[in-house]
Structure 1
Amino acid sequence: MPASTNTTKAIVAYEPQGNRLNLKLEHVNLRDIGADELLIRVVAVGVCHTDLIFGTWPSEMIPYPKVLGHEGSGVVLKAGSNVKTASAGDSVLLSFQSCKSCHSCKNDHPSFCKGFADINYGGESDVYSTDENTIRGSFFGQSSFAERVIAKESSVVNVSHLVTDEEELKLFAPLGCGFQTGAGTIDKVASASEKDTVVVMGLGGVGLVSIMTAKLRNCKTIIGVDRTPERIELAKTLGATHVINTSDKDIDIEKEIRSITDGNGSSVTVDTTGNMDLIRAGMDFTASRGQMIIVGVPPPDALLNVHLITFMQTGKMLRGSIEGDVTPSEMIKWYREGKLPIDKLADDFETALADMASGKVVKPVLIW
């Protein structure tokens, strides 16, 4: 254990070697908390592809070294003088940061905060330090790849009234980003119903929770798309009525989906991959008046050409979803009711991280 509340262990991301993560587990110092911040003892943190993306981006985009991690759960050690959300001893989930003052924040859509990218992706300098380096923190207002973190109040969700012990806190850690994104995209953003035919492209943590939520919403047809046999089989058990394996290079995904849907296409299409070929295909096979929702992070310079007359005539909607436009509390209730079996998705970080990119593991979780 750290010697004091101002020292801890953290996984520090240094400038990548090519496209490979350059992570080191180090003892670091924390600065003191501010009036609107909390000191959190992290019990677990989910590993999201967003962490992998921001750990390999060029240094001119977001400088190194830095502590990533944005799916944390833990216990409050200390709260700043202005904090009202939680106090010492409370169990909390850590989610994204918002400004609380822009139009979206004031109207209960904080995931579409005007300053979302700046305050979540860039973080802040000098949150951590060693004898050799100052280290950026406050990634998504938390940087929860550390045993102890300084969290912004807007990133903290108090779940003391919903959890029974720290074992549940470990399970619920991914609710702060990936799992809430999948659930909220289907439930709140798409408002999917029993009339909908849903296609989910990419069956990682976000995609599989999207499948679960589509089943919870009684969607009539639920199609899972992935290239990994293990994930495809899991999707079947979680609610997918049909699956498509894209590891077959000869497969025509649009033809397959139109065959399943009597030629109509999907009324709700969710892409969790950020793969531009799949996004373009999704725009094509989404039905007239259907929704194409982009969740996965495309390449920074990605553009999508849309033939506007066709787009107008079909009445399709192209949408983005950030964090599912929700907070995690409702999903805990669904889990309690047996409607959202997220316990089937989490794996231990130390044995699973190496397999995340290959698709063998759905959701690695680091247990501190």
Structure 2
Amino acid sequence: MSHANDQKTQIQAAVLREAGKALQIEEAWLEAPRPTEVRVRVVASGVCHTDMVVRDQLFPTPLPLILGHEGAGVVEAVGSAVTMVSPGDHVVMTYMSCGLCLPCETGHPAHCSNMHPLNFGGGRLDGSTSSCSCGSGQPIHDHFFGQSSFSTYVIANERNVVKVPKEAPLELLGPLGCGIQTGAGSVLNALKVEAGSSFAAFGAGAVGLAAVMAAKVAGATTIIAVDVTPSRLELAMELGATHVINSREQDPVERVRAITGSGVNYSLECSGRAEVLRQAIDALTILGTCGIVGATKVGTEVAFNINDVMIPGKRIQGIVQGDVVAHAFIPTLVNLYLQGRFPFDKLCRFYRFDEVNQAMADSESGVTIKPILRMPTDAAI
């Protein structure tokens, strides 16, 4: 096995230096992996809504920062204590967790007690970073979601790299580490949608459409997608929705009740908008459950009718990353994709790495559901 040495690697990275501003492609140095870490040559990285949330500092993080958290690539070097992957393995990188707290030890690492510092703290738990500027030598915050994958090479931890089969198209797989995992995991793992049940996704972006596909896999017989973009609603029907609702044209709560008779068994709020969460709660039937996955500005609040939740026994459930154990769940999604049962490639469009800002803009405007950045093949120096 090829273990890490003390040599640094020169990289290209998309760096955020000022809140709300464009990312800049910069040259930087990346240190060698520590004992439980791995160096990954990034092949491609998905662009996620949370990248824009952090770019705009709706979730405050230290700057300058290398963004990106849906990376896929090839392991190039491993630390001396790494046992789960080897150089040459194809991996998807996902969220980071500590592995030591009660949520981690009871099978809920996505709700890790150290989730914020490990994923939004701009470095390791001890405050250290792996990257520094080639010009000034100043540290650049990284380890965003344990990876900072808008970079040609990254340092990740063996806890947040997931080995995937080499027959799967590696450049496509990065979004399985966050957005696609979140939607599918919320349905299959957190909400546990059953065969014959009814489900509604409020928001038909990458997360919502992944949820629609997962609801079909689960055997739900009424699958409703709610959005304001006709093309996304058309795609939802193609991916397994039985009904769609354009909430600019119809009241989604009234329409859901008309379709189901009383409301859905499960709803998932994917938009990050407080008023849409209220709709997702109101659209539930008796004993229904609403999952919340949409990222909002820190401090966002929502009002709902307490009696309309209490008396029908409705449940409201916060969900992070589908509450999945990624090492088990991501290979399941890969297998479903290879079997033709989870065609998430229909959501994706590829961009060059130097088009990162355009990819983010296209995601925000709705032009592209799931952008994926291809890293330059000649980026190694």
Scaled by the length of structure 2, what TM-score is found?
Answer: 0.89
Structure 1 counterpart of 2:148, from 118, 139, 143: 143
**2:163 matched to 1:158?**
yes
Instruction: Quote the offset at 1:276 in angstroms.
Output: 0.4
Residue 358 of structure 1 is matched in structure 2 by 365
Unpaired segments of 5 or more residues in structure 2?
1-6, 376-381
C-alpha distance after superposition, 1:92-131 (max 9, x if no partner): 1100101111112112221111111221111315421112
**2:19 matched to 1:7?**
no
- Contact 2:275–2:302 at 8 Å: present in 1 too? no
Residue 38 of structure 1 is matched in structure 2 by 38
Residue 129 of structure 1 is matched in structure 2 by 132
Residue 290 of structure 1 is matched in structure 2 by 288
- Identity fraction in percent: 38
SS where residue 347 of structure 1 aligns?
A: strand
Aligned in 2, Cα 1:331/1:267: closer, same or farther, shift over 3 Å?
same
Aligned in 2, Cα 1:227/1:21: closer, same or farther, shift over 3 Å?
farther
Residue 321 of structure 1 is matched in structure 2 by 319
More RCO (CA 8 Å, sep 6+): 2
Alpha-carbon distance between aligned partners in 2 of 1:353 and 1:102, rounded to the nearest angstrom: 34
Alpha-carbon distance between aligned partners in 2 of 1:343 and 1:116, rounded to the nearest angstrom: 29
Alpha-carbon distance between aligned partners in 2 of 1:5 and 1:42, rounded to the nearest angstrom: 16
Aligned in 2, Cα 1:331/1:12: closer, same or farther, shift over 3 Å?
same
Aligned in 2, Cα 1:58/1:223: closer, same or farther, shift over 3 Å?
closer
Q: CA RMSD in A?
A: 1.6
Alpha-carbon distance between aligned partners in 2 of 1:150 and 1:260, rounded to the nearest angstrom: 49
Q: Which amino acid aligns with 2:263?
A: G
Residue 311 of structure 1 is matched in structure 2 by 309
Instruction: Quote the offset at 1:330 in angstroms.
Output: 0.6
Alpha-carbon distance between aligned partners in 2 of 1:288 and 1:195, rounded to the nearest angstrom: 16
- Contact 1:286–1:316 at 8 Å: present in 2 too? yes
- Contact 1:70–1:94 at 8 Å: present in 2 too? yes
Residue 178 of structure 1 is matched in structure 2 by 179
SS where residue 87 of structure 2 aligns?
A: coil
SS where residue 334 of structure 1 aligns?
A: helix
Instruction: Quote the offset at 1:306 in angstroms.
Output: 4.3
Instruction: Quote the offset at 1:309 in angstroms.
Output: 4.1
Instruction: Quote the offset at 1:207 in angstroms.
Output: 0.8
Residue 255 of structure 1 is matched in structure 2 by 254
C-alpha distance after superposition, 1:287-335 (max 9, x if no partner): 1100110011122111233444442211111001111122211101111
**2:56 matched to 1:56?**
yes
Alpha-carbon distance between aligned partners in 1 of 2:211 and 2:21, rounded to the nearest angstrom: 28
Residue 244 of structure 2 is matched in structure 1 by 243
Q: Which amino acid aligns with 1:105?
A: C
SS where residue 371 of structure 2 aligns?
A: strand
- Contact 1:230–1:360 at 8 Å: present in 2 too? no
- Contact 1:185–1:325 at 8 Å: present in 2 too? yes
Greater than 4 Å deviation, 4+ residue runs: none
Alpha-carbon distance between aligned partners in 1 of 2:205 and 2:101, rounded to the nearest angstrom: 32
- Contact 1:228–1:360 at 8 Å: present in 2 too? no
Instruction: Quote the offset at 1:22 in angstroms.
Output: 2.3
Unpaired segments of 5 or more residues in structure 1?
none
Between the two proteins, the alignment pairs up a number of residues equal to 354
Residue 210 of structure 1 is matched in structure 2 by 211
Instruction: Quote the offset at 1:5 in angstroms.
Output: 5.2
